[in-house]
Amino acid sequence: MNILILGYGKMGKIISRIAGDRGHQIAARINIDNVSDLETLDTSQIDVAIEFSQPDAAVPNIKWCMENGVPVVVGTTGWQEQKEKVAEWCQEKNGSLFYASNFSIGVNIFFKVNEFLARLMQDQNGYQASVEEIHHTEKRDAPSGTAISLAEGLIQNNNKYKDWKLQDAEAIEAGILPITSKRIDPAPGTHTVHYASAIDDITIQHTAHSREGFALGAVLVAEWLPDKKGILTMKDFLDF
């Protein structure tokens, strides 16, 4: 496959290496310094794009992919307030857009565990839930997309909570699930879901040891995506 890399930071470099190791060709590597190169790319030679840039660049990159008929795998977070606009572009162009807040297989298993635990805790009124995420200091958006996915999964499976808010875990508001964000180097990502009561605490946690799992997952999805249409997620890819 010929893969276009949109965003050539730490993740883009790892994705490029893993794609090469798996026998793929890199059609181009685009970052803030050479974004104008998109105007002259031969899109007929691109099978799929993998987008890991920054929140302010993600939506223009997605739009370019939709307008040029390039299936795109998006791992950038922090742009979801524009998801309705992006969905309209995808529908208008009959495009292929795969978005995940986290491509790690382990994290997606963790999402399912979180949803199951939320259902178990549905009627346990003595517990207050919270979510904490820890990332490296270069991560610009807070809370992380993975933390938001955890919060949304919990809320959908436990009607005690109606919404989430970025705040201290001790700042309890009725119906609000607090998310705490910390930026500590060199942490690639730790996510914790915590249920606290006067009697005991229940905690589930996922800790990433490197970015390799995220990058490999993105490449595996890129191999799977090109003949699909519409907006797809890890639930479609993993089928569980």
Task: Give catalytic residue positions.
Answer: 135, 139
**Separation CA 19–CA 219 (nearest Å):** 6
**Neighbour-count burial for 7-31, b at 16+ CB within 10 Å, e otherwise:** bbeebbbbbbebbeeeebebbbbbb
Other CB atoms within 10 Å distance of the CB of residue 83: 12
Rounded Cα distance between 67 and 158, Å, is 40
- Tell me the helix, strand and coil percentages in the chain, rounded to 5: 40, 25, 35
Strands (E), 107-166: 128-135, 163-166
Longest dimension (CA), the chain: 63
Backbone φ, ψ for residue 137 (5° rounding): -70, -10
Sheet harboring 201-207: ordered strands across? Answer: 163-166, 176-183, 128-135, 190-196, 201-207
- Tokens for 41? 């790319």
Counted residue by residue, the chain has a size of: 240
